[in-house]
Amino acid sequence: MVQLSSLAAALAVGLLPNLAVAAGLHEAAVAKGKLYFGTATDNGELSDSPYLKQLGNTADFGQITPSNSMKWESTEPSQNSFSFAGGDAIADLAKTNGQKLRCHALVWHSQLPNWVSSGTWTNETLVAAMKNHVTKVATHYKGRCYAWDVVNEALNEDGTYRDSPFLKHIGEAYLPIAFAAAAAADPTAKLYYNDYNIESPGPKATAAAKIVKLIQSYGVKIDGVGMQAHLIVGSSPSESALSSTLSSYTSLGVEAAYTELDIRLKLPSTDAQLAQQSNDYRAVAAACIKNTDCVGITIWDWTDKYSWIPDVFPGEGAACPWDEKLVKKPAYAGLLAGLGGGSSTTTTTAGTTMTTTTSSAPPTSTGVAQKWEQCGGLHWTGPTVCVSGTTCQKQNDYYSQCL
């Protein structure tokens, strides 16, 4: 901290540096050398004005992924008849906002139109149909996608290949064939294999690494592994397990990203669950920050209002960093802490050394932190007294919270 006399001297010569406000999630990620922090979105949500305003907040979101509108059933509902309106709307929005676009997903066993899932195929005819789909869709978005999830969820939990029309009629070679078609259609896009439950060591993660090696063995381009990271509060992988698995992929010469992050809990949520969720989010962000080849994190929509979780996992939800009213939850502060959202700057002026600190959340105007707000941690300069009925509880070295 600065002595009062030194502060006055600095003010007198007009050289006091501006105090930085807290960084958003994307700003914090970029400050640590990452390409983006982003979110998924879907077309039906874009008519919600308050939602759309935050979606375009590039301090938090430097990247967008369309949840559904680039999948096979949306882009090629009947054979060789293509529709890009939904995907274009989100691609155009990303361009307008100056956000990167992650494109999702070219080949997947689910959300296939009936003509694919129930068609009568031979190896030759399905290879031709798959290559045509990948080529037409990737060509349409050529130059617009930072990355494509080329093949999505090809694995069972035990590491064997998931049953699909592609596996049945083509065999495992459908993976390198799809990647080769995508590389030819859009040479500048990063090409990813994307799956869930591959964030920590186990047979599925081992099999995901084998997919990278398989594609490489064909001499075909693969640039990254996407770990969806649909996690569960209290049973999410530790930071060390996350880091170990990240390294198992990046050691193969590819980059990695968390591509669909959310962390669900049993409803109704409790203070203890939300605190644990915050720490689980922090661990994911911190693991990515520590690995040079982890390029970014995408949450699978940013608000509980539009989360997919309650529809698929009855009795569970509250998985996103913002609640249904678009208010930040403790998970937001956990992410910011994991991303290293606080920093300090030292400036020397006329023999006076001054250190200014940016915080991972702005101080409240009253000097009292409200429930859920930050109340301490490394470099924290905001309030340390909690509102009546709550106490300041340490979550980690970077973040204490009023609970």
Q: Give residue 155's pLDDT.
A: 98
In the predicted structure, residue 372 carries a pLDDT above the cut 70: no
Q: Give residue 397's pLDDT.
A: 56
Give residue 9's pLDDT band: very low, low, confident or very high (50, 70, 90).
very low
Give residue 383's pLDDT band: very low, low, confident or very high (50, 70, 90).
confident
Give residue 399's pLDDT band: very low, low, confident or very high (50, 70, 90).
low
Active-site choice (27, 76, 199, 260): 260
pLDDT, tens digit (0-9, with 9 covering 90-100), for 344-359: 332 222 333 332 333 3
Active site residue 373: no
Using a pLDDT cut of 90, give the percent of the chain over it.
79
Report domain extents, the chain: 25-339, 368-402
Q: Give residue 362's pLDDT.
A: 35
Q: Give residue 4's pLDDT.
A: 32
Q: Decide: 64 and 90 in contact? Cβ < 8 Å.
A: yes
Q: Which amino acid is at 360?
A: S
- Give the residue, 222 or 384, on which the prediction is more confident: 222
Average confidence score pLDDT of the chain: 88
Which phi and psi (to 5°) does residue 155 adopt? -120, 145
Fold designation for 25-339? TIM Barrel (3.20.20)
Which ranges of 56-202 does DSSP label H, i.e. alpha helix? 72-75, 85-97, 114-117, 123-140, 165-170, 174-185
Active site residue 153: yes
- Give the residue, 8 or 376, on which the prediction is more confident: 376
Q: What is the DSSP string of 7-20?
A: HHHHHHTT-PPPPP
Q: Region 369-374: what's the mean pLDDT? A: 68
CA distances from 339 to 27, 103, 286, 342 (A): 9, 24, 6, 9
Distance in Å from the first CA to the final CA of the chain: 28
**Rounded Cα distance, 182 and 222, in Å:** 10
Burial class (CB in 10 A: 0-12, 13-18, 19+), 269: middle
pLDDT, tens digit (0-9, with 9 covering 90-100), for 313-344: 999 999 999 999 999 999 999 999 999 963 33
Active-site choice (27, 76, 153, 199): 153
pLDDT, tens digit (0-9, with 9 covering 90-100), for 288-322: 999 999 999 999 999 999 999 999 999 999 999 99
Q: Decide: 84 and 133 in contact? Cβ < 8 Å.
A: no
